[in-house]
């Protein structure tokens, strides 16, 4: 399944703002409670307080994967000068398993956008092997591309994104 211009990741700007074009090759299922995350879904912060269940595909248990979760629209989509905010980082996830079996380098921090409608992107990379990943040290101004280059993760194998705005009041418009 290759990426074309109608791909939700392209239309939603994830390809470009966060990632390069890539070809999906591994299944990625992200579920918050009962809701499975599909691209472009609108989810409120109250529904994503706890980390989601993440299940990945692949076939060979000897392959390990890294999951990154970022918000490229911080502090607001009209002025994202803190792009990207790192919400979660899990490495050494064996194929066919999930984040529970991996190494949580950066713990899940629930998104709480204050201004505007933010995109939350989950990206899956294949690791060359089991490797030591050092935690970035801070969450804002994370760069997924650079991170992937640093740890030789090459292009992503899967990605999904959803939209999130604050629970009450108008997240989409300033009063």
Contacts (CB under 8 A) with another protein, residues 67-106:
77-78
Residue 167 to residue 158: CA distance in whole angstroms: 28
CB of 10 to another protein, least distance (A): 8
Q: Which is nearer to another protein, 40 or 45 (CB)?
A: 40
User: Please, is 151 exposed, middle or buried when counting C-beta atoms within 10 Å of its C-beta (0-12, 13-18, 19+)?
Assistant: middle
Q: Does 8 bind another protein (CB under 8 A)?
A: yes
Q: How many residues bind another protein (CB under 8 A)?
A: 16
Among 163, 164, 166, 171, binds another protein (CB under 8 A): 163
Between the alpha carbon of residue 114 and those of residues 74, 122, 143, 155, 174, the distances in Å are 9, 20, 21, 31, 10
Per-residue b or e along 101-129, where b marks 16 or more CB atoms closer than 10 Å to that residue's CB: ebebbbebeebebebbbbbbbbbbbbbee
Q: Give the max Cα distance, the chain.
A: 53
The token pair at 151 is: 């740890």
Q: Which is nearer to another protein, 8 or 140 (CB)?
A: 8
Q: Mask 31-60, x = binds another protein (CB under 8 A)?
A: -------xxxx-------------------
Q: Which is nearer to another protein, 13 or 94 (CB)?
A: 13
Residue 15 to residue 160: CA distance in whole angstroms: 11
The token pair at 130 is: 């089991």
Q: Mask 114-153, x = binds another protein (CB under 8 A)?
A: ---x------------------------------------
The site for another protein (CB under 8 A) is made up of: 6-9, 11-13, 38-41, 77-78, 117, 163, 172
């Amino acid at each position: 399944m290759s990426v074309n211009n109608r791909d939700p990741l392209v239309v939603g700007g994830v390809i470009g703002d966060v990632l390069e074009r890539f070809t999906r090759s591994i299944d990625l299922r992200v579920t918050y409670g009962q809701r499975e995350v599909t691209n472009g879904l609108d989810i409120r912060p109250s529904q994503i307080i706890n980390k989601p269940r993440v299940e990945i595909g692949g076939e060979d248990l000897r392959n390990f994967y890294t999951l990154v979760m970022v918000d490229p629209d911080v502090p607001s989509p009209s002025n994202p000068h803190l792009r990207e905010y790192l919400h979660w980082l899990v490495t050494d996830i064996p194929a066919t398993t999930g984040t529970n079996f991996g190494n949580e380098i950066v713990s899940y921090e629930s998104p709480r956008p204050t201004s505007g409608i933010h995109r939350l992107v989950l990206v899956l990379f294949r690791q060359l092997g089991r490797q030591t990943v050092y935690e970035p040290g801070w969450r804002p101004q994370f760069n997924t591309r650079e991170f992937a280059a640093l740890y030789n993760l090459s292009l992503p194998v899967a990605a999904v994104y959803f939209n999130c705005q604050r629970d009450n009041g108008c997240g989409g418009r300033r009063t």
